[in-house]
Chains A and B, each alone.
Chain A
């Protein structure tokens, strides 16, 4: 029993199950549990989940990234300006947007590693710089802060395909979750992520390239955020500088609900996936109850507080029993 209690994902899984059952019982006959209802909460979870996984890995390594919000918006605007105002081809513009996301991550990583400033502050600054730069540049070029996207059919297939209500972003989420899971729990790099967050000095002394670990994760986070910007932009046929602002805190929140320790060094991808799914169920479930959606914030706040307490307990449990 303690074996399962000690795992970082157990709490998130239990909370997900409870919440799901709660909403299923509270909304009889509304279609929450139907295929379309399920697609609804999976859609909500998927795009958040794509950024939450690298953000969670980054948190396990002991760092934060609050710049994801503006990166999502910037990527969608690059695609919009590129395909609309400049009439460029879709795929190269997608590559450009992903590269921009990676570069933002690279800057975050280099500044955090070189200055040793808290990444919380560094990436908060980046978030403002990037959204400011995106809006300013868009205004200069086209006098807009949002604009239509003209995507090719092949890009629409890959980024905006739908089966009934289910978006293809759910598949992207599963793919990234699978990669994240493999990397974190099966590879040497995953071992280094845990070690870097667990005790940076010990990790460095043992020969772990802690700087490289952090920079790599910042870049991965930037690329993932740009991917979300592309997914949303092509789905909605438009780019907007303010896309993604909600993720700035939602992503770290679902990571913590998923069992990631705020202090770093502990957590799992399976946990983060359940934390994100829980978010999807709440956001969509509230809608089915007919209650005001303002309650979502209250729910999330309570869950976060509970999760922090539970994670602390799990950590102590892990350190006291064999």
Chain B
């Protein structure tokens, strides 16, 4: 049995008096997709910010490739092959597609003191990667990101993470702004990455998306792990109920139908 790619042991994260995460222990395995489920405010985004080096845990330990780790920041995590698509934190509107795509990992050409960003290469790769997700409207890597739609920007962020996520990919609601075609493309690419041995953490409110790619599932309720299970261990209804924070969704949905 191989060791987990990343592991959290008894991790807490407090913001002042807000206890966003309480005693979280979990493992991310290479070549597996871990789905994080939970209600709004359950602590999912906070958890992935700990995984991606954005936040330091208040208590507890983080292990990366079996050794205890304290990321000094997102840059540290990124340089170890962990790429993240954050919810709501995306691209920079007044910068070009190419510069956004390679932000923090710019391709450099030439010798000092004439080293400079290889803009041509950056633009070319960025456009190519976005095309992989079926996005063909963006043809020029010099285009400012502020001129693209919300979904197009999301594709840019996902494409960037997939390109750089050599070992681990963290996706916080990556499909929320996407059309049906682009969303299924993202799911397909996640499967490809999994086949290549990348460990993936996937947050979604879409039960169908979760069920279609998830290997392991972890449900957060008010900052605590409320349940964990593997693929095919639970029915679609159970998963839906768990995603809603343990409430009986079938009853809620019945109510809705009666309104119609």
| Interface set of A (CB-CB < 8 Å, partner B) | 182, 186-188, 190-192, 194-195, 198-199, 201-209, 265-266, 315, 318-322
CA distance A192 to B146 in the complex (A): 17
Instruction: Give A315 to B95 CA distance when docked, in angstroms.
Output: 11
With a CB–CB cut-off of 8 A, which chain B residues contact A266?
94
Residues of A contacting B24 in the complex (Cβ-Cβ under 8 angstroms): none
Cα A156 to Cα B143 with chains together (Å): 49
B92 touching A194, Cβ below 8 Å: yes
Contact yes or no, B94 A198, CB < 8 A: yes
Secondary structure of the A contact surface, majority rule? helix
Interface residue from A182, A198, A207 paired with B95 (Cβ < 8 Å): A198
Q: Is the Cβ of A319 less than 8 Å from the Cβ of B108?
A: no
Q: Interface digits, B68-84 against A, CB 8 Å rule (1 contact, 0 not)?
A: 00000111011100001
> For the complex, would chain B's binding face be called helix, strand, loop or mixed by DSSP majority?
loop
Residues of B within 8 A of A321 (CB): 147
Q: Are B105 and A318 in contact (CB under 8 A)?
A: no
B84 to chain A, nearest CB (A): 7
Residues in chain A near residue B116, CB distance under 8 A: 182, 186-187
Q: Which residues of A contact B146 (CB under 8 A)?
A: 318-319
Residues of A within 8 A of B192 (CB): none
A205 x B86 contact (CB < 8 A) = yes
Set of chain A residues within 8 Å of B103, measured between Cβ atoms: 191-192, 195, 203, 206-208
B93 CB–A CB distance under 8 Å: yes
Tier of interface size on chain B: 20 to 34
Taking the nearest CB of chain B, how far is it from the CB of A229, in angstroms?
27
A186 engages B117 (CB within 8 Å): yes
Whether B147 lies near A191 (C-beta < 8 A) is no
List residues of chain B with CB within 8 A of the CB of A194.
92, 94-95, 99
Interface code B94-114, partner A: CB below 8 Å = 1, 0 otherwise?
110001001111101000010
Cβ of B144 < 8 Å from any Cβ of A? yes
Closest to A261 in B: B94
Most B CB atoms within 10 A — which of A187, A191, A194, A320? A191
Min distance, Cβ A61 to any Cβ of chain B, angstroms: 12
Report the separation of the CA atoms of residues A206 and B86 in the bound assembly, to the nearest whole angstrom. 9
Question: Which residues of B from 125 to 176 have beta carbons under 8 Å from A?
Answer: 140, 143-144, 146-147
Question: Does B181 belong to the interface (CB within 8 Å)?
Answer: no
| Chain B residue at minimum C-beta to C-beta distance from A211 | B73
Bound complex: CA A206 to CA B54 (Å)? 10
CB of B117 within 8 A of CB of A202, answer no
Interface contact A209-B73, CB-CB below 8 Å: yes
- The one of A187, A188, A198, A205 in contact with B93, judged by C-beta atoms closer than 8 angstroms, is A198
A191 & B75 in contact (Cβ 8 Å cutoff) = no
Decide if A322 touches B147 in the complex (CB within 8 Å): yes
- Kindly state the separation between the CA atoms of A206 and B78 in the bound complex, as whole angstroms: 8
Q: In the assembly, what is the distance between CA of A186 and CA of B95, in Å?
A: 14
Within 8 Å CB of B79, what residues of A? Answer: 207
Contacts of B77 in A (CB 8 A): 207
Do A319 and B94 touch (CB < 8 A)?
yes
Query: Do residues A204 and B73 form an inter-chain contact, with CB atoms below 8 A?
Result: yes
Contact B75 A207 (CB under 8 A): yes
A207 CA / B105 CA spacing, docked (Å): 8
- CB neighbours (8 Å) of A209 from chain B are 73, 75
**Contact of B89 with A by CB under 8 A:** yes
List the A side residues contacting B41 at CB < 8 Å.
none
Q: What residue of chain B has the Cβ atom nearest to residue A267's Cβ?
A: B94
Q: Would you call B104 and A265 a contact (CB within 8 A)?
A: no
Partner of A191, one of B86, B115, B117, B143: B117
Q: Give complex CA distance A88, B52 in Å.
A: 53
A182 to chain B, nearest CB (A): 8
Is B90 engaged at the interface, CB distance under 8 Å to the other chain? yes
Give every chain B residue within 8 A of A198 (Cβ-Cβ): 92-95
Chain A, Cβ-Cβ closest to B164? A207
Taking a contact as CB atoms under 8 Å apart, the answer to whether B75 and A202 are in contact is: no
How many Å from the CB of A264 to the closest CB on chain B?
9
Q: Contact between B104 and A206 (Cβ–Cβ < 8 Å)?
A: yes
